[in-house]
């Protein structure tokens, strides 16, 4: 399609999920009342489909933009073809034959590193690591006191679930941490 071209599309004669309206005559559909809605549709008899130009690359004309999009699409399809390297795509019939409890041969890596924070420099990463270690130490200490029955424990700043579920008091977030974010 080109920008501005109109295509008139007729309403399909059959539903999206079924080629037949047999449920209209089923006893269950009659009892539930669904049969009354079997042939009703709010869809118009025809619809006009028109491709509008997006507000991108305004320096290009309509035809130049469509050519650029098609070129980028062809490039991306070629890249994906190389990535697939002739591997066949699993079709619907083959997918339906796979048992529901089948596990892929090559699974994900287990027990690997699961980072809890990300920084740009080694220095920031070290500071974050030390902050996290201190938070966990303070949190475990406060949680142990809470579990022992002490209800006026103040949890460290950054405690969320205990604050939301049990309304525990938390320390205020230090100003330097607020400014660093």
The pLDDT, as a whole number, for residue 169 is: 93
Measured from the Cβ of residue 1, the count of other Cβ atoms closer than 10 Å reads 10
Q: Is residue 174 part of a domain?
A: yes
Q: Are residues 139 and 168 in the same domain?
A: yes
Residue 92 lies in a domain: no
Residues 77 and 29 in one domain: no
Is residue 110 in some structural domain? Answer: no
Side-chain half-sphere of 83: how many Cα atoms within 13 Å? 7
**pTM: predicted TM-score of the whole model, two decimal places:** 0.39
Using alpha carbons only, how large is the chain's radius of gyration in Å? 30
End-to-end CA distance of the chain, in Å? 47
For the chain, give me the number of helices (H) and strands (E)?
6, 2
**Average pLDDT, 10 consecutive residues per value, the chain (181 residues):** 87 61 70 71 83 87 90 91 78 87 76 80 89 93 94 91 91 74 54
> Could you tell me if residue 138 is inside a domain?
yes
DSSP state of 156: P
Domain boundaries, position 126: 122-180
Report yes or no: 20 and 39 within 8 Å, Cβ to Cβ: no
- Please tell me whether residues 31 and 76 are part of one structural domain: no
Domain-embedded: residue 164: yes
Are 48 and 77 contained in the same domain?
no
């Amino acid at each position: 399609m080109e920008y501005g071209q109109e295509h008139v599309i007729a309403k399909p004669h059959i539903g999206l999920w079924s080629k037949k309206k047999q449920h209209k005559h089923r006893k269950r559909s009659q009892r539930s009342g669904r049969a009354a809605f079997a042939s009703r549709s709010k869809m118009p008899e025809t619809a006009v489909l028109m491709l509008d130009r997006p507000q991108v690359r305004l320096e290009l004309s309509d035809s130049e933009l469509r050519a650029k999009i098609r070129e980028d699409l062809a490039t991306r399809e070629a890249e994906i073809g190389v990535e697939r390297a002739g591997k066949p795509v699993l079709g619907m019939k083959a997918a339906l034959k796979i048992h529901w409890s089948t596990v892929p041969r090559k699974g994900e890596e287990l027990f690997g590193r699961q980072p809890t924070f990300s920084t740009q420099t080694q220095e920031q990463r070290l500071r974050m690591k030390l902050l996290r270690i201190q938070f966990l130490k303070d949190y475990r200490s406060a949680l142990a006191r809470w579990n022992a029955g002490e209800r006026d424990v103040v949890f460290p700043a950054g405690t969320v679930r205990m604050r939301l579920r049990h309304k525990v008091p938390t320390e205020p977030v230090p100003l330097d941490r607020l400014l660093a974010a």
